[in-house]
């Protein structure tokens, strides 16, 4: 207990800074993923021949080791937060893109026909019918992506981006378990909090009838 108190007295401000850096890197990458993957997912439902190819390419990128992608961007973008955010952005794409495509594609065709019968344009159908119905599925992809990225963001330390990974790798290099725990425990808590908060948002955005159907299933 005394060691824990001493650690917070000595490293408390640094821990707060590293936690903020970790969140900043993760959330910016997720937001970029949402801004790109959601429109692309909607677009792919209009060009289904290209959908499988695009999703397959992104799936292949997802299999690349995280460190390899980080190292790839160093000669192009240098070191720091920018290459880390760009690398994590690529990792955020697949769950959001795939869920957006599936959610939009599985929209009830009868509702689309009713909308067209009312004279709705393609854009109106997307924003008034398809997106509202697909939001729970899209949110599930965002939730998965965010939790993954908070974990992967520890690797950003390798390119000088900061974050809680600094504690982990300093602890490994100096053989100090307390530093490893100081990075691992907060990053785990952040991931659990993100999962809980986004899970609540996903539940709120899920229509009651759909929730009942899911529970029955």
Could you give the CA distance from residue 186 to residue 72 in angstroms, rounded to a whole number?
28
The full set of domain ranges for the chain reads 15-207
CA distances from 124 to 40, 111, 117, 170 (A): 17, 13, 12, 53
Q: What is the mean pLDDT of residues 119-129?
A: 83
Could you give the CA distance from residue 33 to residue 97 in angstroms, rounded to a whole number?
8
Least Cα distance to 187 among 42, 6, 21, 4 occurs for 21
Best mean pLDDT range from 112-116, 119-123, 134-138: 134-138
Q: What is the mean pLDDT of residues 2-26?
A: 80
Mention the CATH class of domain 15-207.
mainly alpha
Question: What one-character DSSP code corresponds to residue 3?
Answer: H
Residues whose CB falls within 8 Å of the CB of residue 22, separated by 6 or more in sequence, listed in order: 150, 153, 154, 156, 162, 163, 164, 165, 186, 187, 190
Give the percent of the chain with pLDDT over 70. Answer: 91
pTM for the model stands at 0.84
Best mean pLDDT range from 47-56, 141-150, 178-187: 141-150
What pLDDT does residue 56 have? 86
Considering only 23-27, 61-65, 173-177, 178-182, which range has the smallest mean pLDDT? 61-65
Q: Give the model confidence (pLDDT) of 16-58 as tens digits.
A: 888 999 999 999 999 999 999 999 999 998 887 888 888 888 8
Could you give the CA distance from residue 182 to residue 75 in angstroms, rounded to a whole number?
31
Given a cut of 80, is residue 166 above it in pLDDT? Answer: yes
Q: Give the model confidence (pLDDT) of 76-103 as tens digits.
A: 888 888 989 998 998 888 899 999 999 9
């Amino acid at each position: 207990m005394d060691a824990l108190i001493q650690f917070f007295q000595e490293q408390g401000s640094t821990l707060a800074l590293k936690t903020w850096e970790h969140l900043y890197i993760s959330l910016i990458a997720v937001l970029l993923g949402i801004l790109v993957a959601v429109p692309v997912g909607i677009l792919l439902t209009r060009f289904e021949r290209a959908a499988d190819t695009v999703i397959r390419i992104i799936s292949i990128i997802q299999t690349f080791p995280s460190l390899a992608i980080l190292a790839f961007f160093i000669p192009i973008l240098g070191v720091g937060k920018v290459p880390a955010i760009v690398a994590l952005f690529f990792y955020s794409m697949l769950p959001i893109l795939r869920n957006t495509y599936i959610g939009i594609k599985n929209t009830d065709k009868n509702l689309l026909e009713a909308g067209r019968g009312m004279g709705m344009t393609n854009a109106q159908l997307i924003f008034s019918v398809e997106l509202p119905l697909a939001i729970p599925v899209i949110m599930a992809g965002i939730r998965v992506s965010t939790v993954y990225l908070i974990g992967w963001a520890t690797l950003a330390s390798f390119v000088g981006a900061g974050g809680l990974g600094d504690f982990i790798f300093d602890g490994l290099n100096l053989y100090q378990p307390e530093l490893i725990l100081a990075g691992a425990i907060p990053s785990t808590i952040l991931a659990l909090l993100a999962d809980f908060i986004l899970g609540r948002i996903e539940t709120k955005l899920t229509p009651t009838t759909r929730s009942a159907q899911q529970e029955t299933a």
